[in-house]
Amino acid sequence: MSLQRPNGNSSSSSSHKKHKTEESDEELLMVPDMEAAGSTCVLSSSADDGVNNPELDQTQNGVSTAKRRRGRNPVDKEYRSLKRLLRNRVSAQQARERKKVYVSDLESRANELQNNNDQLEEKISTLTNENTMLRKMLINTRPKTDDNH
């Protein structure tokens, strides 16, 4: 049984790296799940030699050993940290975009409210002036009563 490293020095790996630099931003955001690729990852470099390896035998017989070793694999740790970093970058960018939309909505709402306030203040001033004028007219049109009568 031939096992391969997830980050081995094969020609397909180097061509994948060249292809990855040519991918668009959207494709870069989609990270393949290496855990779903199966348990064909090599857990140690001596497993490629074909020599009887107790770790390899345990891996073939029991999946729990492979899962336990998978977490300690430096390549796997690096992959997970890169995957997490990429997710964080995407999440941060989305949060920044949401914040921009939110702030622009707040600014437009503030402008609308300010315009509405200005119109209402103008209306208050007009109505106050009209009220004062009507009161004066009312006083002037009342018949004067003579106390001497």
Assign residue 38 a region (left: φ > 0; alpha: ψ between -120 and 50; beta: otherwise): left
The model's pLDDT over 40-51, given as tens digits with 9 standing for 90+, comes to 444 444 444 544
Q: Does 83 reside within a domain?
A: no
The verdict on residue 106 lying in a domain is no
- Asked, for residue 129, whether it belongs to a domain, the answer is no
- Domain-located, residue 57: yes
Range of the domain at 40: 1-72
Domain-embedded: residue 122: no
In degrees, rounded to 5, the angle at the alpha carbon of residue 119 between the alpha carbons of residues 116 and 124 is 125
Residue 138 belongs to a domain: no
Model confidence over 50-85: pLDDT tens digits? 445 555 455 555 555 555 555 578 888 899 999 999
| Number of domains into which the chain is organized | 1
User: For the whole prediction, is pTM greater than 0.85?
Assistant: no
